[in-house]
Structure 1
Amino acid sequence: MEAGFVSIGTISMYYREMGRGSPLVYVHGNTASSLWYELVMDVPGYRVFAPDMPNFGRSSPLLEEITIAHYAESVAGFMDAKGIKDAVIVGHSLGGCVAQMLALNRHDLAKALILIDSGSPMGLVTPKDRHPLIELMRTNRAVLEQALRAVVPGLKDEAFFQKLVDDAQQMATSAWIGNAEALSHFDISSKCAEYQGRVLVIRGSLDALITDEMAKQTTEAFPNASLVTLEDIGHSVIVEDPMLFLKLLREFLAEEREPLWQK
């Protein structure tokens, strides 16, 4: 696996890269980074990229207002810098919203989407009375651990889990509340019909954050979308059962042969 940094304007973005072949881009979720994709980077026949978005991991802070649109612009900038086009984009949680916006704004970049326990095109509202708990997660590791365990119920590797907690603590201070606000204000539901690429929506049956109704809303919003529900999986199949995710990914990629927007 290779790793490095690219400059996108004033932002320095860290990324991981592995393999050769057609492009596949992983977009991580909230309180996360490319580390969450560490176990699923090896995809034969694909050149896999996993950037840390600004505010996360080893990338520098976002200097603009925290919005899903600005995160999508940063991923687009990363792809442009690396010469990536017509990629399959995989987005997890908040990263699923970023992937949706990227696909709508830059048809040339997103050949197809896989949305893992993603916020819907109508966003994900966090009540303001939950903000003190979010701040407590930022400042209290024990509270953060408890919150993260709830979204990865199937993860049994304690050492790797602690790495995820360490990683979450690297998130920019402003992003803890900022990301919640960005998701609350996100709404692209009126534009989803414009995207003609294939979309696979994945939801874990034990996900306490993304409901079955939200997953159905996402699936119904896109013309060429399908929904898969994974039994006994929570919010994060990529770390709870990476082999299962890779199986689903390979099946999806096997059907993804035609160029984007050719119809």
Structure 2
Amino acid sequence: MSSIHFFEKGSGQAVVLIHGFCEVGAMWEDFAEELSQSFRVLCPDLPGFGKSPLSKPQISLEETAVMLEEWMEEHSIQDPMIIGHSLGGYVALALLELMGSKIKGIGLFHSTAFADDAEKKEMRNRTIQFLKKFGAEKFVSSFVPPLFSEKHWEEFADEIEKATQQARQSTLEGLIAFTEAMRDRKDRFEVLNNFQGPKLMIAGTEDGAVKIEASRQQKTAFTDYVELEGTGHMGMIEQKERTLEIVREFCEDID
């Protein structure tokens, strides 16, 4: 029996929405509600986040992909379209490498197929040191607001608070384990580039976590590439209506 906790809505073609770092599956509630009118939408909690337990102190993206593949088999989720935000995009790419043509389409939401460069790896190491010294609560409070474009902080104060509350469902062990997993992940650009199915990237021009320059370097690998002007790392909130329509049209075109 899979230990992956999830919620689902709707029926038909499966669409799996994978949350990012310091997030939970419930972040996709609005998207799931809308998309469920046409699709079977499933939103898992990754191990160590929300209600999915982390069974050991270290986990790789490859191991996470195997767990999700087993979860999909258990729940008869076949030929899914997989869309991941940030860390969820890294997991989606690991699933793509594992499952290949069993995946019908893939979407990266403020994510990248590139591995971390030296500067980013050092930032991950500092994050791990901070978590071990100060704990999850202090980290979460400082981590979430900068995910949004600073000019949107006042406008989205309630949404930032909600995202912070959801982030508090992250375990210290999960935060450390996945910071290590992100730091050590391999480059999967060729995996992405060689995939013949539909591929979507949504990027924010003011994304502090995944720089727009890196997104533009990968543009040719995607069948659908969209930039959100003046948007940070949380386009599904900062531009909810537009990004929901982009994802809906992407899924409908595949289906």
User: Under a length normalisation based on structure 1, what TM-score does the superposition of the two structures give?
Assistant: 0.83
The amino acid of 2:180's aligned partner reads E
Query: Residues 173 and 235 (structure 1 numbering): CA distance in 2 closer, same or farther, change over 3 Å?
Result: same
CA distance in 2, matches of 1:62, 1:29: 19
What residue number does 1:71 align with?
64
Task: Tell me, yes or no, if the aligned pair for 2:105 and 2:197 is still in contact at 8 Å.
Answer: yes
Alignment of 1:200-219 (within 5 A): 200-219=200-219
Contact in 1 for aligned 2:14/2:77 (Cα 8 Å) = yes
Give the C-alpha shift of residue 15 in structure 1: 0.8
> Which amino acid in structure 1 is aligned with residue 167 of structure 2?
A
Q: Take 1:106 and 1:50, find their aligned partners in 2: how far apart are those partners? A: 19
Partner secondary structure for residue 164 of structure 1: helix
Q: Is residue 137–residue 144 contact of structure 1 (8 Å, CA) maintained in 2?
A: no
Distance apart, 1:174 and its partner CA: 2.0
Q: Is the 8 A contact 1:94 1:119 kept in 2?
A: no
Q: 1:73 to 1:64 in 2, by over 3 A?
A: farther
The letter for the 2-side match of 1:79 is M
Q: Name 1:229's counterpart in structure 2.
A: 227
Q: Is the 8 A contact 2:110 2:210 kept in 1?
A: yes
- State how far apart, in whole Å, the 1-side matches of 2:239 and 2:134 are: 25
- Could you tell me which residue of structure 2 aligns to residue 132 of structure 1? 129
The CA distance in 2 between the partners of 1:249 and 1:236, in whole Å, is 14
CA contact (8 A) 1:28 1:91 kept: yes
- Alpha-carbon shift at residue 26 of structure 1 (Å): 0.2
How much has 1:193 moved relative to structure 2? 3.9
Determine if contact 2:15/2:82 at 8 Å carries over to the other structure: yes
- Say how many residue pairs are matched: 245
**Paired residue for 1:120?**
113
Deviation at 1:35, TM superposition (A): 1.7
Q: Is the 8 A contact 1:152 1:240 kept in 2?
A: yes
Find the partner of 1:102 among 80, 95, 102.
95
The residue matched to 1:106 in structure 2 has which SS?
Answer: helix
SS in 1 for 2:121: coil
Q: Within 2, Cα distance between the matches of 1:52 and 1:175?
A: 11
In terms of fraction of residues, the more strand-rich structure is: 1
Report if the CA contact (8 A) 1:126-1:180 is conserved. Answer: no
| Higher helix fraction (1 or 2) | 2
Cα 1:121–1:78 shift into 2, 3 Å: farther
Partner of 1:164: 163
- Return the letter of the residue paired with 2:121: T
What is the CA deviation profile of residues 197-233 of structure 1, one whole-angstrom value per residue up to 9, with x for unaligned ones?
A: 111111111101101232134444x4x5442110121
CA distance in 1, matches of 2:27, 2:100: 26
Structure 1 residue 108 displacement after superposition: 4.8
Cα displacement (A) at 1:45? 1.1
Tell me the secondary structure at the aligned position of residue 228 of structure 1: strand
Paired with 1:250 and 1:58, the residues of 2 have a C-alpha distance of 27
Q: CA deviation at 1:115?
A: 0.4
In structure 2, relative to structure 1, the CA distance for the partners of 1:148 and 1:136 (3 Å cut) is: farther
Taking the TM superposition and a 5 Å limit, the aligned residue runs for 1:17-32 are 17-32=8-23
Map 1:168-207 → 2, pairs under 5 A: 168-187=167-186, 188-207=188-207
> Do the aligned residues in 2 keep the contact of 1:104 with 1:195 (CA within 8 Å)?
no
- Which residue in the other structure is 1:3 paired with? none
